[in-house]
Amino acid sequence: MLQRGAPLKVLISGARRSRARALRRVLTPLGAEVRIDGFRSHTMLEADVVLPFSGEETCYLNTIYPEYAGVKYLLPDLAAFALCEDKGALYARLARAGFGAHLAAPVPGQAVVRKPRIGTAGVAASVLPYETMSDSPAWVWQRRLSDAHEYAGHFLIDGAGRMVLARACRYTRHENQMRHDLRDGAGALVDIPPDHRALFAAMLAEIGLRGFCCFDYFVTPEDGVQVLEINGRVGGSMVRMPEVMGPAYCRAVAPELTAHWPEPVWPQVVRHKRGLAGRLPSLRRPRFA
């Protein structure tokens, strides 16, 4: 139990040291004592808040230290995390729960887009006829959408299932491409309308997620919100906002110890690594004949 006047002890894995250091620079002025170390018995015991980054760390903590779930860390349990990783099962679960109209699933007679391989940040998606899907799982594909923007919605769900953080990063999308602004290293931070937020909250309640998660989605005039996927982990854009990520997470895990902390201030733009711009041609998926 943290004694009155003692610093909040935050444990962050050293696997991504530059990001961990960025969080330490944000949390230290707030009165936190940040330790960058491995997740081991003695470091877990001493910490008040444990902040993981990756899916690997999610699985490790849930497997080795489940007794700290909801107490020192907020993460989806293994079943919920596995559901998010299995996009086909996730689509099926949400469709059965009545969310089918908000899934960008392929529709007979409409053009489809093959989801790009990991690492392209959504760039160079091939538009093909529906019949092209015949030899591959449907979840590998999405219905071609005409909206000019793609959104990455970032959420934080506390231990009681309450949505305590919600904001979207909007990326400009060009023909046959998504997240085109990644070339320019920026995406705009925008509010999420109440009805969209309520929809996402209902989906998250169905899945049972806790902690950070990220929705990739479109909003079209014809169909409204169209979800591409849900990631049961902190999103890439959020990781690049340590001034929001660190304080918000600590407040959600230990609200009584951080009640005096100021509310995180969102930036207007989230910056990505500009070095990716020169690599995009080599990352593009070859077009099908």
Q: Do residues 118 and 252 both lie within one domain?
A: yes
Question: Residue 145 has what pLDDT?
Answer: 73
Q: What is the domain range of residue 240? A: 81-283
Question: Residue 120 has what pLDDT?
Answer: 40
Mean pLDDT of 49-57: 92
Six token digits for residue 207: 């899945």
Q: Do residues 26 and 142 both lie within one domain?
A: no
Q: Do residues 66 and 111 both lie within one domain?
A: no
Question: Residue 229 has what pLDDT?
Answer: 87
Q: Do residues 38 and 151 both lie within one domain?
A: no
CA–CA separation, 39 and 11 (whole Å): 8
Question: Residue 220 has what pLDDT?
Answer: 86
**In percent, how much of the chain has pLDDT > 90?**
56
Q: Do residues 160 and 239 both lie within one domain?
A: yes
* Residue whose structure tokens are 């309520």: 198
Question: Residue 136 has what pLDDT?
Answer: 66
With a cut of 90, say whether residue 248 has pLDDT above it.
yes
Of 73, 101, 117, which residue sits at a domain end?
Answer: 73
58 within domain boundaries: yes
Question: Residue 139 has what pLDDT?
Answer: 57
Mean pLDDT of 152-179: 84
With a cut of 60, say whether residue 118 has pLDDT above it.
no
Of 24, 53, 73, which residue sits at a domain end?
Answer: 73
Per the structure, the count of domains in the chain is 2
Residues 6+ apart with CB under 8 A from 154: 165, 166, 167, 168, 169, 212, 213, 214, 234, 235, 237, 238
CB–CB of 58/52 below 8 Å? Answer: yes
Question: Residue 177 has what pLDDT?
Answer: 53
259 burial level (CB within 10 Å; 0-12, 13-18, 19+):
exposed
Mean pLDDT of 78-99: 92
Mean pLDDT of 116-120: 42
CA–CA separation, 44 and 72 (whole Å): 8
Question: Residue 149 has what pLDDT?
Answer: 82
DSSP 79-93: HHHHHHH-HHHHHHH
Question: Residue 125 has what pLDDT?
Answer: 58
Q: How many CB atoms lie within 10 A of CB 8?
A: 20
User: Which long-range CB contacts under 8 A does 29-33 form with residues at least 24 apart?
Assistant: 30/247, 30/258, 30/261, 31/7, 32/7, 32/8, 32/250, 33/7, 33/8, 33/9
User: Which long-range CB contacts under 8 A does 28-32 form with residues at least 24 apart?
Assistant: 30/247, 30/258, 30/261, 31/7, 32/7, 32/8, 32/250
**Which residue has better confidence, 237 or 285?**
237
CB–CB of 268/243 below 8 Å? Answer: no
At 134, phi and psi to the nearest 5? -55, -35
pLDDT digits (tens, 9 = 90+) for 269-281: 887 654 444 444 4
Q: Do residues 175 and 222 both lie within one domain?
A: yes
Region of 197 (left: φ > 0; alpha: ψ -120 to 50; beta: rest) is alpha
288 within domain boundaries: no
Comparing CA positions, the residue from 66, 64, 38 lying closest to residue 52 is: 38
Strands 211-220 and 141-143: unpaired
Beta bridge partners of 220: 224
Task: Evaluate the CA torsion angle 55, 267, 254, 164 in order and state its sign.
Answer: negative
Helix axes 87-94, 78-85, angle to 10 degrees: 100
2 within domain boundaries: no
CA–CA separation, 155 and 238 (whole Å): 9
pLDDT level of residue 14 (50, 70, 90 thresholds): confident
Of 25, 57, 73, which residue sits at a domain end?
Answer: 73
289 within domain boundaries: no
Question: Residue 199 has what pLDDT?
Answer: 97
pLDDT digits (tens, 9 = 90+) for 192-241: 999 999 999 999 999 999 999 999 898 988 889 999 889 999 988 899 99
232 within domain boundaries: yes
CA–CA separation, 99 and 97 (whole Å): 6
**Which residue has better confidence, 5 or 57?**
57
**In percent, how much of the chain has pLDDT > 70?**
79
Average pLDDT, the chain: 83
With a cut of 70, say whether residue 282 has pLDDT above it.
no
With a cut of 60, say whether residue 54 has pLDDT above it.
yes
